Amino acid sequence: AEGGDNSELLAAEMTMQAASAESPLPPGEQVTLTLTTGELDSLKISLATMLVNTNDAFTGLNAIDVSSLAVNESLSRTSFAYDAGTEANTEAQGTIPGPADSGEGYNEMRDDINHVAMHPGVVSQDDGLTNSVLTSQHKFDNPVARITITRTQ
Whether the Cβ atoms of residue 95 and residue 89 lie closer than 8 Å to each other: no
For the chain, list the strands marked E by DSSP. Answer: 44-50, 57-65, 74-79, 82-83, 117-118, 145-150
User: Residue 32, SS3?
Assistant: coil
pTM (2 d.p.): 0.84
Least confident segment among 7-16, 63-72, 81-90 = 7-16
Q: What is the mean pLDDT of residues 82-107?
A: 82
Mean pLDDT score across all residues of the chain: 85
End-to-end CA distance of the chain: 32
3-state helix, strand, coil split of the chain in percent (to 5) is 5, 20, 70
Per-residue pLDDT at 39: 67
Q: Percent of the chain having pLDDT more than 70? A: 93
pLDDT at 15 over 70: no
Per-residue pLDDT at 102: 84
Whether the Cβ atoms of residue 24 and residue 98 lie closer than 8 Å to each other: yes
Q: Where are the domains of the chain?
A: 1-153
Burial class (CB in 10 A: 0-12, 13-18, 19+), 113: middle
